[in-house]
Copies of this chain bind each other. A is one copy, B any other.
């Protein structure tokens, strides 16, 4: 089976991460790569972060692999960052589920006093919440306002996605109870009470899965103090942004964290972190997030055994010490790539 994969190399460390991931991908699958430009450099050149023709390529590909994009100094007139593709891809293609596994890999030292067993997935709603307002806030020189929008349809489909994922995923929380945790702020915000209510309606359709609701502040504490409690977490977009980086901090850093942006007919896969321009081009960036994003893409393409091969190789290379991660999060990009390819079985 051959797949047609659109690739956005992105900004900063993006190109070297994508090179690394493509080398691994080509070792496990038969793929046709179609490159498209996207991000802040593209914005500077073209006046748009993604040209129409490139979007067409993405729409006709089987899936898209995206490197980190954005350069903090490249900003729109309103001050928000230009070159981010979230609005164009996540909203534009209605990729409503941002799926972010948080897994402590063997050989990786957690910032927590935990040696293993952190293994949950954050399902971040990806088309509304506070991000409905992305770059659209209204105001003047004295005040500015953004809107957090929660719809029934949006909440229902993301809750259902979370329960379906919980029904099929491997790995279980410490107590062995398959659960979906709704993270909200239903005590203070009506929109978040609405999100919780719809979640509970959907939960009733999945009697075999525990449904629990936790306020976002309590959840932030729990992800630090009892991360092994969690299985699948479903939440609003801004909360999911914060909690997924928090989770990343507990498993060695976001440099190890892949994410998928998945809709009914399109999907793209990426590291959850930024483009780290300060270390770009120095063979220092950790490519594992991009490599693991590639494995998620293969699962999505219906080739989970190829995805499993990549994940097994990453685990193997980490646990036998053939990958060295520096305490500051850097590593040797090409050496890591070779170690993963060398560990493929």
- List the interface of chain A (C-beta within 8 A of B): 70, 72, 78-81, 84, 86, 109-113, 130-131, 133-139, 141-153, 185-194, 196-197, 216-218, 220-225, 238-239, 241-246, 248-250, 253-254, 274
CA distance A158 to B144 in the complex (A): 16
CA distance A81 to B110 in the complex (A): 36
A221 near B248: Cβ-Cβ < 8 Å: yes
Contacting residues, chain B, for A238 (C-beta < 8 A): 185, 238
Contacting residues, chain B, for A241 (C-beta < 8 A): 185, 216-217
Most buried by B among A192, A193, A223: A193
CA distance A224 to B249 in the complex (A): 6
Q: Assuming A109-B113, A146-B192, A217-B241, what are 12 further A-B pairs, CB within 8 angstroms? A: A79-B197, A80-B187, A81-B188, A112-B112, A138-B190, A142-B151, A143-B151, A144-B194, A216-B241, A218-B274, A224-B246, A225-B253
B84 near A187: Cβ-Cβ < 8 Å: yes
B137 near A145: Cβ-Cβ < 8 Å: no
Most buried by B among A138, A149, A191, A254: A191
Contacting residues, chain B, for A144 (C-beta < 8 A): 149-150, 190-191, 193-194
Given contacts A145-B149, A147-B146, A187-B70, contact A80 B133 (CB under 8 A): no
B188 near A84: Cβ-Cβ < 8 Å: yes
B143 near A187: Cβ-Cβ < 8 Å: no
B79 near A137: Cβ-Cβ < 8 Å: no
Contacting residues, chain B, for A222 (C-beta < 8 A): 249
B145 near A193: Cβ-Cβ < 8 Å: no
CA distance A197 to B196 in the complex (A): 34
A152 near B148: Cβ-Cβ < 8 Å: no
Return the contact of A245 from the options B84, B192, B218 (Cβ within 8 A). B218
A80 near B147: Cβ-Cβ < 8 Å: no
Contacting residues, chain B, for A72 (C-beta < 8 A): 187
Contacting residues, chain B, for A189 (C-beta < 8 A): 80, 130, 133-135, 137, 146
Contacting residues, chain B, for A111 (C-beta < 8 A): 112-113, 224-225
Contacting residues, chain B, for A239 (C-beta < 8 A): 242
Contacting residues, chain B, for A131 (C-beta < 8 A): 188
Return the contact of A223 from the options B133, B147, B218, B249 (Cβ within 8 A). B249
CA distance A249 to B219 in the complex (A): 10
Q: What's the minimum C-beta distance from A103 to chain B, rounded to whole angstroms?
A: 16
Contacting residues, chain B, for A274 (C-beta < 8 A): 218
Return the contact of A141 from the options B152, B186, B244 (Cβ within 8 A). B152
Q: What's the minimum C-beta distance from A241 to chain B, rounded to whole angstroms?
A: 5
